[in-house]
């Protein structure tokens, strides 16, 4: 699936979601919720006072996400860690 533009995530493929088992659908919902929290927290943020850690953003079906919402960050006072795979 292509990365979405402008900080928005790509909608999951409806056929992929329909074919998922209950566990995969639940895992995708958790990833989407996590991504939404990251996006809400860091959009328009310029300084992170502490660690910035973005993890576990690939769900079932290899759904991918844009990290454009991090583009305004100019300073992280401790550590930056972005990990998209387990």
> Under 8 Å CB-to-CB from 40, ≥6 apart: which residues?
none
Own/partner contacts of 68-73, CB < 8 Å, gap of 24 or more, are 68/5, 68/6, 68/7, 69/7, 69/38, 69/39, 69/42, 69/43, 70/42, 72/43, 72/44, 72/45, 72/46, 73/42, 73/45, 73/46, 73/47, 73/48
Report the pLDDT value the prediction gives residue 72, as an integer from 0 to 100: 95
Report the pLDDT value the prediction gives residue 69, as an integer from 0 to 100: 92
Report the pLDDT value the prediction gives residue 50, as an integer from 0 to 100: 86
Residue with tokens 């995969």: 24
Report the pLDDT value the prediction gives residue 11, as an integer from 0 to 100: 56
Report the pLDDT value the prediction gives residue 4, as an integer from 0 to 100: 38
Low-confidence residues in the chain, pLDDT < 70: 1-19, 80-86
Report the pLDDT value the prediction gives residue 24, as an integer from 0 to 100: 80
Domain ranges of the chain: 14-83
- pTM tops 0.85: no
């Amino acid at each position: 699936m292509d990365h979405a533009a402008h900080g928005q995530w790509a909608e999951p493929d409806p056929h992929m979601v329909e074919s998922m088992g209950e566990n995969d659908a639940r895992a995708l919902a958790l990833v989407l919720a996590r991504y939404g929290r990251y996006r809400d927290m860091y959009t328009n943020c310029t300084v992170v006072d502490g660690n910035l850690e973005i993890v576990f953003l690939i769900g079932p079906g290899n759904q991918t996400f844009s990290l454009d919402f991090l583009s305004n960050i100019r300073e992280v006072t401790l550590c930056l860690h972005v990990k998209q795979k387990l």
